[in-house]
């Protein structure tokens, strides 16, 4: 492939493909172009968002939190009388010597948590460690999804610990299901045709459970609404990759005799760090794919959105705020970002950026839609009978810092000329209500 062809493809992937609308393509080409965009953007955003660094940070948090998390897991399992089953599952996933060491650490941690110097301090620190890890995971997902606000403290406690309480039960159910299916297939060995098919489905069970786990993570961890249909394919891809590296990790325990000679029983730590780094990288890459799949339209006209002119920016601000005011004045359901984008043919990313900006200057605010299936909607933040074009332009101009050490006397005449020019067009603009435009 010559340089001219490579440049042509580069230009197509970085520029041309983002300017083609669905109306210009057949249904088959729409799907093909969408998949190309998703793959390209997943890799591009993965590098741009420095996801590998976030994965490293989560690996560090996981190392600090893994023993408290396992301690909680074992404590809950003991409460249900399932500790031996969980312990067997744990031993089967790693070297016997390393498993014994980690189980000893877990038992010691639980003992100290129950009998700390100050009553309850050990338990509080245990729960706090887990909460910090869960919060770091949510922040990483929110950064990928460009969500500004995390869950409230109350929601973090209820949501995160609900998942932790359910985890032992899910492990027991999956283990019981595997044992039942293996027993059942032995009874069907005489059926030559059915046995291989059922065996295939049994071998697929761990993958299906892992796919389900990743799909649930992609839906529930970000503090925004994630639609199920956009998580299925990323969940399957991430789950399959995770299972593949899990297989390498488990079988790799056989190859660490050299590490055992150097580190002794601590040989599990470097292997765990490598496994955690790869696992978090896979997980966050899957989250990137979910975000891109659900918001693919927002990347259309990406370069133009990033370099929008000042007059077009103010023009779109006027259109969007006027639309919100008109909808409110007519007593209709408030607009969501998607509805504004589709109705007025404004790129969704630009629409969301402007909505965030209008919120920052206090002209609109977010509200929950009566229809729970719909996204967040937007309402005027000021009486629409006072909300003028002049007010919008004035607040847009004043947005940002003005605290600079400048000799005002030196530029007094220039400043006065600028203010006089501003006041003239603001005065005229103040005569126009946005709801009447």
Q: Which residue has the higher pLDDT, 229 or 170?
A: 229
> How much is the pLDDT for 123?
65
More confident residue, 254 or 58: 58
5-19, 90-104, 217-231, 310-324: the lowest-pLDDT one:
90-104
pLDDT mean across residues, the chain = 76
Specify which of 6-20, 48-62, 248-262 reaches the highest per-range mean pLDDT.
48-62
Task: Give the tens place of pLDDT for each residue, 133-166.
Answer: 888 888 888 888 877 777 777 777 777 777 766 6
Question: Can you read off the two tokens belonging to residue 366?
Answer: 């977010």
Least confident of 238-242, 265-269, 426-430: 265-269
pLDDT-derived band at 286, boundaries 50, 70, 90: very high
pTM here?
0.70
Check residue 320 and give its pLDDT.
92
Q: Give the residue-averaged pLDDT of 171-198.
A: 60
The residue that leads in pLDDT, 44 or 15, is 44
Tokens 């291989």 belong to 196
Q: Tell me, what's the pLDDT at 237?
A: 92
Percent of the chain surpassing pLDDT 90: 6
- Split at pLDDT 50, 70, 90, the class of 261 is low
Residue 303 has pLDDT above 80, yes or no: no
Q: Is 365 helix (H, G, I), strand (E, B) or coil?
A: strand
pLDDT at position 233 is 92
Question: Is residue 359 within 8 Å of 317, Cβ to Cβ?
Answer: no
Range list of β-strands (E), 266-420: 364-367, 377-380
Cβ neighbours of residue 44 under 8 Å, at least 6 residues apart?
none
- Residue 295 pLDDT grade (very low, low, confident, very high; cuts 50, 70, 90): confident
pLDDT given at position 151: 79
Residue 118 has pLDDT above 50, yes or no: no
User: Which of 25-29, 237-241, 298-302, 389-393 holds the top average pLDDT?
Assistant: 237-241
Q: Write the pLDDT tens digit of every residue in 370-411.
A: 666 667 889 998 888 888 888 888 888 878 777 776 776 777
The pLDDT of residue 116 is: 53
Residue 291: which of 154, 412, 148, 142 has the closest Cα? 142
* Residue 184 main-chain phi, psi, to 5 deg: -65, -40
Residue range 52-63: mean pLDDT, rounded: 86
- Higher-confidence position of 269 and 209: 209
Q: Looking at residue 259, what is its pLDDT?
A: 55
Residue 102 in contact with residue 109, Cβ under 8 Å? no
What is the percentage of the chain residues whose pLDDT exceeds 70?
70
Q: Read off the pLDDT of each residue in 167-190 and give the average, rounded to a whole number.
A: 60
What mean pLDDT do residues 302-311 have? 74
* pLDDT number for residue 260: 57
Structure tokens that stand for 223 in this block:
């503090």
Give tens-digit pLDDT for 62-86: 887 777 777 777 777 776 666 676 6
192-251 pLDDT, tens digit each: 555 566 667 767 777 888 888 889 889 988 888 888 889 999 999 998 888 888 777 766
Which of 24-28, 49-53, 233-237, 273-277 is the most confident on average?
A: 233-237
Bridge partners of 380?
364
Q: Which residues, other chains included, contact 422 with Cβ-Cβ below 8 Å and sequence gap of 6+?
A: 397
Is the per-residue pLDDT at 119 higher than 60? Answer: no
Residue 313 has pLDDT above 70, yes or no: yes
Enumerate domains of the chain plus CATH numbers: 48-294 (no CATH), 302-400+408-436 (1.10.10.10)
DSSP assignment of 154-210 equals HHHHHHHHHHHHHHHHHHHHHHHHHHHHHHHHHHTTT-TTHHHHHHHHHHHHHHHHH
At 131, is the pLDDT very low, low, confident or very high (cuts 50, 70, 90)? confident
Q: How confident is the model at residue 281, as a pLDDT?
A: 92
Of the two residues 295 and 284, the one the predictor is more confident about is: 284
C-alpha to C-alpha distances, 337 to 109, 329, 343, nearest whole angstrom: 49, 18, 10
């Amino acid at each position: 492939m010559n340089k001219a062809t490579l440049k042509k493809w580069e230009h197509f992937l970085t520029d041309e493909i983002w300017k083609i609308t669905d109306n210009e393509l057949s249904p088959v080409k729409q799907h093909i172009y969408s998949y190309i965009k998703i793959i390209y953007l997943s890799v591009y955003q993965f590098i741009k968002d420095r996801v590998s660094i976030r994965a490293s940070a989560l690996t560090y948090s996981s190392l600090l939190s893994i023993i408290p998390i396992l301690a909680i897991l074992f404590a809950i399992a003991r409460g249900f009388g399932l500790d031996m089953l969980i312990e067997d599952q744990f031993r089967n996933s790693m070297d016997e010597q390393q498993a014994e060491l980690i189980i000893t650490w877990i038992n010691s941690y639980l003992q100290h948590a129950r009998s700390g110097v100050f009553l309850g301090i050990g338990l509080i620190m245990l729960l706090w460690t887990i909460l910090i890890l869960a919060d770091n995971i949510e922040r990483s997902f929110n950064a990928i999804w460009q969500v500004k606000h995390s869950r409230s403290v109350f929601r973090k406690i209820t949501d995160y610990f609900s998942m932790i309480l359910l985890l032992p039960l899910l492990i027991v159910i999956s283990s019981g299901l595997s044992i039942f299916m293996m027993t059942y297939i032995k009874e069907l060995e005489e059926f030559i045709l059915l046995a291989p098919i059922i065996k295939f489905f049994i071998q697929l069970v761990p993958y299906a459970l892992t796919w389900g786990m990743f799909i649930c993570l992609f839906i529930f961890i970000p503090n925004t609404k994630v639609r199920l249909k956009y998580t299925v394919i990323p969940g399957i891809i991430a789950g399959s990759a995770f299972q593949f590296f899990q297989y390498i990790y488990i079988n790799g325990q056989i190859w660490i005799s050299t590490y055992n000679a150097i580190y002794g029983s601590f040989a599990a730590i470097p292997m765990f760090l490598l496994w955690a780094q790869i696992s978090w990288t896979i997980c966050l890459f899957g989250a990137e794919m979910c975000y891109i799949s659900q918001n693919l339209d927002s990347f259309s006209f990406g370069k133009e959105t990033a370099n929008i002119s000042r007059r077009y920016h103010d023009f779109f601000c006027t259109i969007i705020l006027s639309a919100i005011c008109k909808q409110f004045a007519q007593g209709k359901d408030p607009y969501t970002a998607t509805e504004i984008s589709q109705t007025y043919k404004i790129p969704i990313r630009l629409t969301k950026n402007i909505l965030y900006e209008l919120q920052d200057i206090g002209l609109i605010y977010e509200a929950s839609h009566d229809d729970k299936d719909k996204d967040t909607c937007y309402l005027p933040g000021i009486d629409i009978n006072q909300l003028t074009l002049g007010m919008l332009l004035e607040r847009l101009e004043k947005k940002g810092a003005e605290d600079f050490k400048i000799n005002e006397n030196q530029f007094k005449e220039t400043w006065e000329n600028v203010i006089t020019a501003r006041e003239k067009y603001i005065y005229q603009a103040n005569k126009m209500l946005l709801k009447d435009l």
